[in-house]
Amino acid sequence: MISLSSHNHFNLHTYPNGLRLVTVPMEYTKSVTVLVMVATGSRYETKEVNGISHFLEHMTFKGTTKRPGTLDISQELDSLGAEYNAFTSKEYTGYYVKCAADKIDTALDVISDIFLNSKFDGKEMDKERGPIKEELNMYMDNPSRRVAEIFETLMYGDQPLGWDVGGTKGNIDKMRHQDLLDYFKTHYFDNNTVIAVAGNINTDEIKKKINKYFDNIRKGKRTEPLIVSEDQKEPRLIVEYKKTDQTHINIGFRSYSRFHPKYEALEILAIILGGGMSSRLFVEVREKLGLAYRVRTGVTAYNETGNLVTYAGLNNANLLEGLRVILAEHKKLTKEPVSEKELKRVKDQIQGSFVIGLEQSDDMASFYGEQELLEHKIETPEQRLAKITAVTREDILEVARDVFKPEKLNLAIIGPLEGEQPEIKNILNSW
The one catalytic residue in 27, 45, 48, 57 is 57
pLDDT band at residue 232 using 50, 70 and 90 as cut-offs:
very high
pLDDT in tens, 180-206: 999 999 999 999 999 999 999 999 999
What SS3 state is found at 24? strand
Domain count, the chain: 2
Residues 328, 248, single domain; the answer is: yes
Residues 164, 18, single domain; the answer is: yes
334 assigned to some structural domain:
yes
106 assigned to some structural domain:
yes
CA pair distance 176, 49, nearest whole angstrom: 9
Q: Which domain holds residue 28?
A: 5-213
Express as a percent the part of the chain with pLDDT over 70: 98
Instruction: Identify the pLDDT of residue 8.
Output: 52
* Average predicted confidence (pLDDT) for the chain: 96
* 57 included as an active-site residue: yes
Asked if residues 143 and 410 have their Cβ atoms less than 8 Å apart, the reply is no
- For residue 64, report the phi and psi dihedrals to the nearest 5 degrees: -125, 180
pLDDT tops 90 at residue 1: no
pLDDT in tens, 325-355: 999 999 999 999 999 999 999 999 999 999 9
DSSP letters for 275-327: SSTTSHHIIIIIIIT--EEEEEEEEEE-SS-EEEEEEEEEEGGGHHHHHHHHH
34 assigned to some structural domain:
yes
Residues 401, 327, single domain; the answer is: yes
Residues 74, 129, single domain; the answer is: yes
Q: In DSSP terms, which residues pair with 38 in a beta bridge?
A: 93, 193
Residue 9 DSSP class: -
Residues 145, 267, single domain; the answer is: no
Residues 68, 155, single domain; the answer is: yes
Instruction: Identify the pLDDT of residue 357.
Output: 87
CA pair distance 126, 140, nearest whole angstrom: 22
Report pTM: 0.94
pLDDT in tens, 162-186: 999 999 999 999 999 999 999 999 9
DSSP letters for 151-182: HHHHHH-SSGGGS-TT--HHHHHH--HHHHHH
Give whole-number Cα distances, 176 to 46, 298, 374, 378, in Å: 14, 37, 29, 38
How large is the average pLDDT for residues 124-148?
A: 97
Residues 179, 298, single domain; the answer is: no
220 assigned to some structural domain:
no
CATH number, domain of 70, equals: 3.30.830.10
- For residue 159, report the phi and psi dihedrals to the nearest 5 degrees: -145, 165
Residues 312, 364, single domain; the answer is: yes
Q: Which of 180, 213, 246 is the last residue of a domain?
A: 213
CA pair distance 59, 93, nearest whole angstrom: 13
The residues near 273 (Cβ < 8 Å, ≥ 6 apart) are 279, 280, 281, 297, 310, 329, 330, 333
219 assigned to some structural domain:
no
Residues 45, 189, single domain; the answer is: yes
11 assigned to some structural domain:
yes
The residues near 141 (Cβ < 8 Å, ≥ 6 apart) are none
DSSP letters for 230-250: ----S-EEEEEE---SEEEEE
pLDDT in tens, 239-265: 999 999 999 999 999 999 999 999 999
Q: Which of 181, 213, 245 is the last residue of a domain?
A: 213
pLDDT in tens, 372-406: 999 999 999 999 999 999 999 999 999 999 999 99
CA pair distance 197, 364, nearest whole angstrom: 9
Residues 187, 278, single domain; the answer is: no
CA pair distance 128, 166, nearest whole angstrom: 13
Residues 406, 260, single domain; the answer is: yes
Residues 376, 423, single domain; the answer is: yes
Give whole-number Cα distances, 161 to 171, 195, 202, 252, 301, in Å: 17, 25, 39, 16, 11
Between 8 and 324, name the one with better pLDDT: 324
Instruction: Identify the pLDDT of residue 7.
Output: 47
Which class for 169: exposed (0-12), middle (13-18), buried (19 or more C-beta within 10 A)? middle
304 assigned to some structural domain:
yes
Residue 333 DSSP class: T
pLDDT band at residue 431 using 50, 70 and 90 as cut-offs:
confident
Instruction: Identify the pLDDT of residue 9.
Output: 84
225 assigned to some structural domain:
no
Q: In DSSP terms, which residues pair with 254 in a beta bridge?
A: 307
pLDDT tops 60 at residue 64: yes
The residues near 38 (Cβ < 8 Å, ≥ 6 apart) are 92, 93, 94, 187, 188, 192, 193
CA-CA-CA-CA torsion for 423, 424, 428, 431, nearest 10 degrees? Answer: 50
Q: Which of 178, 213, 248 is the last residue of a domain?
A: 213
Closest by CA to 53, choosing from 108, 83, 94, is 94
pLDDT tops 60 at residue 29: yes
